[in-house]
């Protein structure tokens, strides 16, 4: 009986010990999970946090643009081509009231910067006014719903819905500096390979813009000899411990002459901006610069996410290759050419300055009078909607190629084609990780038709 009692007491003690340990663990877990210093996000909270900025749209953006009263009458048509009245938020900052005011975009007069004269050692005093756009736009528009501040020049064409879509990838509650370097190597070497060029445009998340505005005076004193506002801004942001996040859709366009080769082979990313269009030839050869911009916007207003997106198609019976830059151009090559070649732009343009090679930040293809390498060029003419949720873009031949047919691929000349029709499904923004594919719909006398579509899982484009 004594032994049995001992065993009973032993079992009871063990049970009490186990129960106590269990209660201790439960209490520890309870306090650990509810202690804010120790809480870690679980999958549900992470998902919720992610969805909170994927809904970023144009209403969450504030645009700040620096201009001058002397240039306003020339630059205003560029801004009016993309600014959406009563939708786009922001201001144009001028040195004085313009002679030709308009209802949009709204403007403000830059604040007096004479107090900076004591330490201003720049060759161009207006650099301070340009740099202070970030501070002034933040002070003018800093409501709770603002997520991003987008800074650009008065000759910058912005595709604001695409900008909002791209910025939606990033958490606006963090410090982000989003932009792109120049396409020309020497421009980056002169300023910085880690700088967002202001003409191409760049975006600051709300907390970064707030921090920049708070520290701008100190920064202006520290970098009193810099002669570029975007270089100064990059230096300020670098001092705050934030690096540039690159987005290929921002285009500085440090080129001269004809940039059609670049626009016909746009990088695989949404088109966000075009700059320096005053310094190059009109992007459509039959129009002036302003007409060209407005013409491109006709396609962008129908499907901004697809504008300039390159699709490679083949007509194997005739050994032809089609390179479609949606809403801008179509090139026909009288040979089967793989996408890896056609993704490199034709070097129809010249570099901004004339320095040593390498000239560009990307590979180019030379323009040569070879029947198998020189394309037949067609430019965007019109866009129309068809029945249902489809639209059709029409491309018309620019000029005669004046070369014989490509003999190595069967002498199938494309000289007789004068018009190309491209059918596409009206879409919202999709995953840009893969280009679209297309189907050849047939040749009818002097025109041919293609249908754009999503690529099949294992489809090869060549």
Relative to beta strand 177-179, strand 61-66 is: unpaired
Q: According to the model, what pLDDT value does residue 357 have? A: 75
Q: Kindly indicate the confidence band of residue 377, based on its pLDDT and cuts at 50, 70 and 90.
A: very high
CA-wise closest residue to 94 among 71, 74, 77, 125: 71
CA-wise closest residue to 191 among 181, 199, 200, 201: 181
The yes-or-no verdict on residue 185 having pLDDT over 70 is yes
When pLDDT is averaged across residues 182-202 and rounded to a whole number, the result is: 93
H-type helices in 174-309, by residue range? Answer: 185-190, 206-222, 229-239, 260-263, 289-302
Instruction: Please give the Cα distance from 445 to 358 (Å, whole number).
Output: 45
pLDDT tens per residue, range 86-134: 999 999 999 888 877 666 788 899 887 766 666 555 546 678 888 899 9
Number of Cβ within 10 Å of residue 418's Cβ equals 14
Relative to beta strand 244-246, strand 157-158 is: unpaired
Q: According to the model, what pLDDT value does residue 351 have? A: 84
108 touches 92 (CB < 8 A) = yes
Share of the chain above pLDDT 90, in %: 62
The yes-or-no verdict on residue 201 having pLDDT over 50 is yes
Q: According to the model, what pLDDT value does residue 123 have? A: 47
Question: Both tokens of residue 163?
Answer: 């900008």
Q: Going edge to edge, which strands form the sheet with 320-325?
A: 310-315, 320-325, 329-333, 376-385, 390-397, 419-425, 447-453, 437-444
Neighbouring-strand partners of residue 424: 391
Q: According to the model, what pLDDT value does residue 95 have? A: 87
When pLDDT is averaged across residues 377-402 and rounded to a whole number, the result is: 91
Q: Spell out the domains of the chain, with CATH numbers in brackets.
A: 53-246 (3.90.550.50), 298-453 (2.70.130)
Instruction: Please give the Cα distance from 442 to 439 (Å, whole number).
Output: 9
56: left (phi over 0), alpha (psi -120 to 50) or beta: beta
Helix 289-302, helix 72-82: angle, nearest 10: 20
DSSP 277: G
Q: Kindly indicate the confidence band of residue 11, based on its pLDDT and cuts at 50, 70 and 90.
A: low
pLDDT tens per residue, range 242-292: 999 999 999 999 999 999 999 999 998 999 999 999 999 999 999 999 999
Q: Which residues, at least 6 apart from 244, have a Cβ–Cβ distance to it below 8 Å?
A: 177, 178, 179, 181, 194, 195, 196, 234
Mean pLDDT over each residue of the chain, to the nearest integer: 85
Q: According to the model, what pLDDT value does residue 425 have? A: 86
Q: Kindly indicate the confidence band of residue 342, based on its pLDDT and cuts at 50, 70 and 90.
A: very high
CA quadruple 93, 97, 103, 104: dihedral, nearest 10: -20
pTM across the whole model: 0.85
Q: What angle do CA 47, 52, 54 make, to 5 degrees?
A: 90
Q: According to the model, what pLDDT value does residue 361 have? A: 93
Least confident of 1-5, 346-350, 401-405: 1-5
pLDDT tens per residue, range 288-305: 999 999 999 999 999 999
User: To which residue do tokens 């120790």 refer?
Assistant: 38
Number of residues that this document lists for the chain: 462
Q: According to the model, what pLDDT value does residue 14 have? A: 54
């Amino acid at each position: 009986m004594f032994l049995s009692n001992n065993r009973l007491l032993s079992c009871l003690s063990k049970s009490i010990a186990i129960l106590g340990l269990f209660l201790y663990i439960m209490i520890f877990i309870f306090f650990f999970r509810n202690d804010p210093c120790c809480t870690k996000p679980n999958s549900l909270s992470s998902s919720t946090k992610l969805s909170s900025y994927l809904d970023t749209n144009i209403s969450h953006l504030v645009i700040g643009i620096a201009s001058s009263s002397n240039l306003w009458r020339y630059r205003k048509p560029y801004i009016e081509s993309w600014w959406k009245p009563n939708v786009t938020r922001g201001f144009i900052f001028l040195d004085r009231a313009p002679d030709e005011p308009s209802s949009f975009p709204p403007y403000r007069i830059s604040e007096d910067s004479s107090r900076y004269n004591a330490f201003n050692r720049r060759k161009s005093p207006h650099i301070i006014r340009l740099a202070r756009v970030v501070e002034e736009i933040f002070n003018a528009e800093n409501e709770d719903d603002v997520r991003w501040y987008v800074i650009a020049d008065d000759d910058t064409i912005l595709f604001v819905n695409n900008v909002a879509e791209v910025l939606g990838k990033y958490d606006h509650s963090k410090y982000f500096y989003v932009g792109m370097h120049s396409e020309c190597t020497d421009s980056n070497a002169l300023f910085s390979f880690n700088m967002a060029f202001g003409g191409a445009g760049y975006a600051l998340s709300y907390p970064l813009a707030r921090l920049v505005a708070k520290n701008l005076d100190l920064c202006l004193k520290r970098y009193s000899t810099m002669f570029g506002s975007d270089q100064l801004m990059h230096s300020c942001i670098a001092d705050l411990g934030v690096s540039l996040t690159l987005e290929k859709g921002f285009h500085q366009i440090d080129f001269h002459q004809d940039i059609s080769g670049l626009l016909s082979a746009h990088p695989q990313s949404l088109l966000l901006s075009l700059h320096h269009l005053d310094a190059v030839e009109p992007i459509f050869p039959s129009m002036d610069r302003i007409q060209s911009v407005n013409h491109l916007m006709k396609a962008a207003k129908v499907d901004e996410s697809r504008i300039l997106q390159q699709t490679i198609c083949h007509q194997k019976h005739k050994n032809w290759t089609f390179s479609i830059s949606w809403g801008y151009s179509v090139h026909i090559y009288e040979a089967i050419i793989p996408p890896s070649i056609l993704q490199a732009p034709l070097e129809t343009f010249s570099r901004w300055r004339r320095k040593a090679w390498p000239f560009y930040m990307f590979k180019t293809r030379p323009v040569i009078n070879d029947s198998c390498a020189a394309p037949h060029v067609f430019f965007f003419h019109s866009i129309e909607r068809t029945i249902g949720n489809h639209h059709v873009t029409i491309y018309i031949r620019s000029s005669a190629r004046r070369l014989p047919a490509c003999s190595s691929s069967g002498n199938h000349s494309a000289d007789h084609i004068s018009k190309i029709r491209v059918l596409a499904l009206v879409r919202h923004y999709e995953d840009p990780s893969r280009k679209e594919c297309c189907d050849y719909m047939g040749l009818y006398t002097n025109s041919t038709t293609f249908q754009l579509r999503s690529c099949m899982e294992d489809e090869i484009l060549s």
